[in-house]
Amino acid sequence: MNGKFVTLEGCEGVGKSTQLKYLKEYLEREGVPAVFTREPGGTPLAERIRAVLLDDSLNISPEAEAELFATARRDHIDNFILPALNEGKLVVCDRYLDSSLAYQGFGRGLGLETVLRINAYAVGKCMPDLTVFIDMDPLKSFRKMSGKKIEHDRIETENAEFHAACYRGFKEIEKLYPERFRSVVPEQDKSSTHGKIIEALKKGGVL
């Protein structure tokens, strides 16, 4: 396995999609062989699980939710991430394990240990080389999100307290995995934020 695995994390509405777009353009310009993917999703099975997970007509228990994310992740790892890493590609994933730790562990209150246990079998052989966390106050991003989008999915519609708990979770994860976890505080100017992300990837030995 000679590729590198990078994940991008953050609370809702922090500008992750824009930064992924900038990063994609940058890597294309630089001629870096890279593939972009997302969670939940990235394979036909995981995309179906995604539709279930985000369907706000369903009442899913926190435990079942955590296991569904982990099942989708397992399929994504086996059928997309590992094959791409074996081909020597840089794999960039929009959300991964840390989203489960933050959202299910802290947001839903299952706790870090439980969510780690549920995911251990899947991620044991596939941990990110580097995780960039877009570190933005959840209240700010939550307000921005509520004002902007017309439709919200099952998880986005959770209240501000849920999103604040997720943010606290990410800050705990930062302490747990200092070797791979890089927080980037976003700037008003999106291209400055992009510059910070590239710097983090270079410092982390990924670029």
Does 99 participate in binding ligand TYD (rule CB under 6 A)? yes
Q: What is the nearest approach in angstroms of ligand TYD to the Cβ of residue 104?
A: 6
Size of residue set near ligand TYD by CB under 6 A: 13
**Which residue's C-beta sits nearest to ligand TYD?**
103
Does 5 participate in binding ligand TYD (rule CB under 6 A)? no
β-sheet with 181-184: strand ranges across: 34-38, 90-94, 4-10, 130-134, 181-184
Residues between 115 and 174 with contacts to ligand TYD, criterion CB under 6 A: 155-156
Does 4 participate in binding ligand TYD (rule CB under 6 A)? no
Binding mask 48-87 for ligand TYD (x = CB under 6 A): ---------------------x------------------
Considering only 28-36, 96-104, 128-136, 173-181, which stretch makes contact with ligand TYD by CB under 6 A? 96-104
Cα–Cα distance for residue pair 178/180, rounded to 1 Å: 6
Q: Closest CB to ligand TYD among 95 and 182?
A: 95
Q: What is the nearest approach in angstroms of ligand TYD to the Cβ of residue 2?
A: 26
Contacts of 106 (CB under 8 A, 6+ apart): 112, 165, 166, 168, 169, 172
Contacts of 206 (CB under 8 A, 6+ apart): 4, 6, 90, 129, 130
Q: What is the nearest approach in angstroms of ligand TYD to the Cβ of residue 88?
A: 25
Q: Closest CB to ligand TYD among 65 and 129?
A: 65
Q: What is the nearest approach in angstroms of ligand TYD to the Cβ of residue 29?
A: 25
Name all contacts of 176-181 with Cβ < 8 Å and 24+ positions apart. Answer: 176/112, 177/131, 180/127, 180/128, 180/129, 180/130, 180/131, 180/204, 181/98, 181/131, 181/133
Angle between helices 62-76 and 112-123 (to 10 degrees): 20
Residues making contact with ligand TYD (CB under 6 A): 12, 16, 39-40, 69, 94-95, 99-100, 103-104, 155-156
